[in-house]
Amino acid sequence: MTESIETTLQALLHTQSAPDRALYELITSPDCDVELSSLADRVRRQTYGTAVYLRGLIEFTSHCQNDCYYCGIRHSNHMAVRYRLTREEILDCCTEGYALGYRTFVLQGGEDPEYTDDSICRIVCAIREHFPDCAVTLSIGERSYESYLHFFRAGASRYLLRHETADPRHYQMLHPKSMSLAHRKQCLYDLKAIGYQVGSGFLVGSPFQTPAHLIADLCFLQTLSPDMIGIGPFLTQHDTPFAKYPNGSLSLTLRMLSVLRLMFPYALIPATTALGTIHPQGRELGLKAGANVVMSNLSPQSVRQHYALYDHKICTGEESAQCRGCLEQRIKAAGYHAVTDIGDVKRAANEL
């Protein structure tokens, strides 16, 4: 490890920031990964010990009005199988999840206008009524300030919306003209203003991405100061315009996870399904590199393979209970312990 990288690590450790040039050197240097991840693990243990928070993920609709070039459930993908879960089916997933110990339900889906504000509110209310000791997280894309406010008042307290890339030109290379980075950012600021615990994040290794884009991602996250940060490698889906582009890399994703842990010691950072898909031990490696959340699939087994954002997605053939057991083992094997409480962010008062 060079002296300048050592200086960068110390700066990140003590000030949670570093100059762009130093970050550039760090994220393009493969030879300091061991030191970087052990430092990230140290920081994670200081805030969260060995706790890994479990979230129950319910992928409730594969319909989407958007056309993100990387995503398998994009509107123009006529090969995609579309499904929607009813409120009752969603509640059944929660009942099963509750019995397995989950205390956070993450409702994720494509941008599907069939679910009006009212229907989302009814779903959120029903979950909160049946499971008052659980948090509801929404991840349903871009909506208006008013819609977000309705969902919040209905009882959703967390929202996940990745910015995907913080460089406006790169954003336009990944999305159609109808979408803009400016609007995504506005949504994130709206969600914060309303009082949600907000999660954002980006793809690692998406087509045309450069290290400068990744630095822009870090910089934007510093401005946003989210509670949760989700990143994962870009993975190809064979029926998308990006079918021929290479997957993002495991090592760069792990490196970015560690940098995020150093910059955001308090953040809830998942070892994502995409990370588990790119390598059999991807999630364990993610935990060791600084991640402290794992999301487990609670969707009915019959629909799982149809929420196909990318090829070869893991956990599509299993039952929820099997996923739960498997995760517990993996977390233990990596040297951590699974926690099933509600798992709110542990931010110091001066950081709020």
Contacts of 215 (CB under 8 A, 6+ apart): 20, 23, 24, 27
d(CA 322, CA 302): 15
Task: Rank residues 9 and 216 by Cβ distance to ligand SAH and give the closer one.
Answer: 216
Q: Build a one-symbol-per-residue string for 250-289: x at contacts with ligand SAH by CB under 6 A, - elsewhere.
A: ------------------------x---------------
Tell me which residues in 222-241 interact with ligand SAH (CB under 6 A): 232, 234-235, 237
Asked whether 102 and 81 are in contact (CB, 8 A), the reply is no
* Rounded CA Rg of the chain: 19
Phi/psi at 69 (5° precision): -65, -25
Q: Which amino acid is at 72?
A: G
In sequence order, what E strands does the chain have? 51-61, 104-109, 135-139, 156-160, 197-200, 203-204, 228-229, 232-233, 293-297, 337-339
Contact mark string toward ligand SAH, 71..110, x via CB under 6 A: x------------------------------------x-x
Q: Does 340 bind ligand SAH (CB under 6 A)?
A: no
Nearer to ligand SAH, 111 or 318 (CB): 111
Report the residue from 33, 67, 96, 111 that binds ligand SAH according to the rule CB under 6 A.
Answer: 111
* Number of chain positions touching ligand SAH (CB under 6 A): 19
Contacts of 280 (CB under 8 A, 6+ apart): none
Does 191 bind ligand SAH (CB under 6 A)? Our answer is no
CA 29/CA 33 separation, integer angstroms: 8
Q: Are 203 and 248 in contact (CB under 8 A)?
A: yes
Neighbouring C-beta atoms of residue 249, cutoff 10 Å: 16
As measured in angstroms, the least distance from the Cβ of 332 to ligand SAH is 27
Determine, following the binding rule CB under 6 A, whether residue 164 of this chain makes contact with ligand SAH: yes
Angle between helices 320-333 and 87-99 (to 10 degrees): 40
From the list 48, 70, 151, 264, which residue makes contact with ligand SAH (rule: CB under 6 A)? Answer: 70
**Which part of the chain contacts ligand SAH (CB under 6 A), choosing from 45-53, 144-152, 157-165, 208-216?**
157-165
Binding residues for ligand SAH (CB under 6 A): 70-71, 108, 110-111, 139-141, 161-162, 164, 203, 232, 234-235, 237, 274, 309-310
